[in-house]
């Protein structure tokens, strides 16, 4: 990589590092895993950067690298309760109400399967279904159907 | 609850918080596919060491029958060296995390699996050759190997050695393959299955 390209890479990463933090926060539970993944995402982005042709936005490209890395990287298992079991938790209505909405959404998203989490994250971040399809490798139709189901599951859990 | 508004708050309050600790762009990757790539490189290294060993033996051995089997082993190892090199380059070329993940994973997984399967199958023919070469070298250390091979007792011992060594080496190699490549391949396979499960559920 040329020096100018290196500088460009560092500037772009600095501008968009929030994307990497976001992906790590949604998928990782342990400090050591967080650092490992941060380094791995930076490494993969660094390795792939010379092929970044600017056809997509850098943020989309970095999102793709970050999500693909996190999905395929060996992580310690999550301590989050799977979403299927959330509904059956014996929590009183008063307690439920006291839980902050954002924390509830965070826990509900983290309780989803890896790919479902990836779909809803991209959707909530404003990506169109065809962009999500191209990032993940599913068809637009599959993305739409799956997203509808994931949203339904999330809403059911959050409104329960 | 409005999902989008809650998400925006979540992003602001929690998700954009920096990762603590010293972060650097490490030159070494701990990614499972990178581990597969490293394993292929180690295999290539071993092939080179074995080739050197065979060439050394070819130089010091004097009996033509032993030389013949050593030449066969050198050719076989050369073939596998170039096969592994080709697959390694293929995996390096297709392993791109900035592209479609499903396609990337499938290409890496299929390439590795098909090479390992080919090596497994072809090894059934190679182990008898290797056993014979070793057997002949043992004979050549004491006597004329070609002459000794004409005795039926020696031929039976060779057949027994092949019959014992071929399956033993085959299963040992399978076990080693499982220990080294297995966990990474299983990880990739379960991810590919997740993609396929989502596609099935959506149909």
Domain boundaries of chain B, sorted by first residue: 28-202
Token pair recorded at residue A1 = 């990589």
Residue finishing a domain among A53, A82, A111: A82
Residue finishing a domain among A82, A111, A145: A82
The predicted pLDDT at position B91 comes to: 87
Of A20, A67, A105, the CB nearest to B10: A105
Contacts from B20-28 at CB under 8 Å and sequence distance 24+? B20/A31, B20/A34, B20/A35, B21/A31, B21/A34, B21/A35, B22/A35, B23/A35, B23/A38, B23/A39, B23/A42, B24/A39, B24/A42, B25/A39, B25/A42, B25/A43, B25/A46, B26/A39, B26/A40, B26/A42, B26/A43, B27/A43, B28/A43
The residue among B56 and B98 whose pLDDT is bigger is B56
Residues of A in contact with B1 (CB under 8 A): 101, 105, 155, 158-159
The predicted pLDDT at position A89 comes to: 44
Full residue range of the structural domain in which residue A138 is found? 85-160
- Same domain? For A64 and A98 the reply is no
Residues of A in contact with B198 (CB under 8 A): 115-116, 138, 142, 146
> What DSSP designation does A126 have?
T
Choose the weakest-confidence range: A19-28, A74-83, B176-185, B189-198.
A74-83
DSSP readout, A25-57? HHH--SHHHHHHHHHHHHHHHHHHGGG--SSS-
Choose the weakest-confidence range: A126-130, A142-146, B25-29, B69-73.
B25-29
The residue among B18 and A65 whose pLDDT is bigger is A65
Q: Is B6–A105 a contact, with Cβ atoms under 8 angstroms apart?
A: yes
pLDDT mean over A109-120: 89
Q: Using CA atoms, how far apart are residues A116 and A146, in angstroms rounded to an integer? A: 8
User: How large is the angle between the packed helices B101-142 and B183-202, nearest 10 degrees?
Assistant: 150
- Same domain? For A129 and A73 the reply is no
Residue finishing a domain among A43, A61, A82: A82
The predicted pLDDT at position B4 comes to: 85
- Same domain? For A71 and A130 the reply is no
- Same domain? For A35 and A99 the reply is no
Q: Kindly report the nearest CA distance between residue A64 and chain B, in angstroms.
A: 6
Q: Is B30–A18 a contact, with Cβ atoms under 8 angstroms apart?
A: no
- Same domain? For A2 and A78 the reply is yes
| Count of domains for chain A | 2
Q: How confident is the model at residue B78 (pLDDT cuts 50, 70, 90)?
A: very high
What percentage of chain A carries pLDDT values higher than 90?
16
The predicted pLDDT at position B85 comes to: 92
pLDDT mean over B38-55: 93
- Same domain? For A96 and A45 the reply is no
The ipTM assigned to this model is 0.74
Residues of A in contact with B23 (CB under 8 A): 35, 38-39, 42
Token pair recorded at residue B58 = 């070819």
Say if residue A36's pLDDT is above 90. no
Query: Which residues, numbered 80 to 139 in chain B, qualify as contacts with chain A under a Cβ-Cβ cut-off of 8 Å?
Result: 96-105
b or e along B43-55 (b: 16 or more beta carbons within 10 Å of the residue's beta carbon)?
A: bbeebeeeeeebe
Say if residue A129's pLDDT is above 80. yes
Question: What's chain B's average pLDDT?
Answer: 87
Choose the weakest-confidence range: A15-19, B14-18, B124-128.
B14-18
The predicted pLDDT at position B150 comes to: 87
pLDDT mean over B88-100: 85
Q: Using CA atoms, how far apart are residues A99 and B127, in angstroms rounded to an integer? A: 65
Which CATH number characterizes residue A149's domain? 1.10.10.10
The predicted pLDDT at position B99 comes to: 82
Q: How confident is the model at residue B143 (pLDDT cuts 50, 70, 90)?
A: confident
Say if residue B49's pLDDT is above 90. yes
Token pair recorded at residue B105 = 């994973």
The residue among B188 and A82 whose pLDDT is bigger is B188
Q: How confident is the model at residue A91 (pLDDT cuts 50, 70, 90)?
A: very low
Of A31, A116, A124, the CB nearest to B4: A124
- Same domain? For A77 and A90 the reply is no
- Same domain? For A89 and A70 the reply is no
pLDDT mean over A67-85: 67
Q: How confident is the model at residue B11 (pLDDT cuts 50, 70, 90)?
A: confident
Short-list A40, A34, A118, CA closest to B31: A40
Say if residue B71's pLDDT is above 90. yes
Choose the weakest-confidence range: A22-36, A136-150, B72-86, B126-140.
A22-36
Which CATH number characterizes residue A57's domain? 1.10.1740.10
Say if residue A83's pLDDT is above 50. no
- Same domain? For A110 and A91 the reply is yes
């Amino acid at each position: 990589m040329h020096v100018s390209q290196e500088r460009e890479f560092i500037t772009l990463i600095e501008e968009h590092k929030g994307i990497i933090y976001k992906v790590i926060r949604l998928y990782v539970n342990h400090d050591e895993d967080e650092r490992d993944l941060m380094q791995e995402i930076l490494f993969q982005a660094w390795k792939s950067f010379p092929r970044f042709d600017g056809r997509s936005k850098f943020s989309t490209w970095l999102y793709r690298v970050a999500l693909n890395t996190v999905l395929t990287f060996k992580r310690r298992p999550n301590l989050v309760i799977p979403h299927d079991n959330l509904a059956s938790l014996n929590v009183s209505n008063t307690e439920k109400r006291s839980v902050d909405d954002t924390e509830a959404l965070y826990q509900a998203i983290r309780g989803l399967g890896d790919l479902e989490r990836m779909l809803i994250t991209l959707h909530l971040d404003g990506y169109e279904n065809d962009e999500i399809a191209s990032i993940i490798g599913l068809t637009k139709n599959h993305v739409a159907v799956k997203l509808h189901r994931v949203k339904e599951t999330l809403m059911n859990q959050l409104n329960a | 609850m409005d999902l989008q508004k809650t998400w925006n708050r979540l992003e602001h309050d929690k998700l954009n918080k920096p990762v603590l600790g010293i972060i650097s762009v490490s030159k070494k990757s701990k990614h499972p596919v990178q581990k597969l790539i490293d394993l292929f490189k180690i295999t290539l290294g071993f092939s080179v060491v074995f080739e050197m060993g065979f060439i050394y033996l070819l130089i010091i051995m004097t009996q033509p029958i032993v030389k013949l089997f050593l030449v066969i082993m050198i050719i076989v190892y050369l073939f596998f060296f170039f096969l592994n090199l080709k697959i390694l380059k293929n995996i390096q070329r297709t392993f791109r995390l900035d592209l479609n993940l499903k396609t990337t994973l499938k290409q890496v997984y299929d390439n590795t699996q098909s090479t390992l399967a080919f090596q497994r199958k072809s090894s059934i023919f190679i182990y008898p050759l290797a056993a014979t070469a070793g057997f002949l070298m043992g004979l050549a250390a004491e006597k004329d190997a070609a002459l000794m091979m004409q005795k039926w007792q020696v031929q039976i011992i060779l057949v027994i050695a092949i019959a014992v060594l071929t399956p033993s080496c085959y299963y040992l190699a399978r076990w080693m393959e499982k220990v080294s490549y297995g966990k990474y391949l299983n990880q990739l396979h379960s991810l590919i299955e997740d993609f396929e499960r989502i596609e099935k559920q959506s149909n």
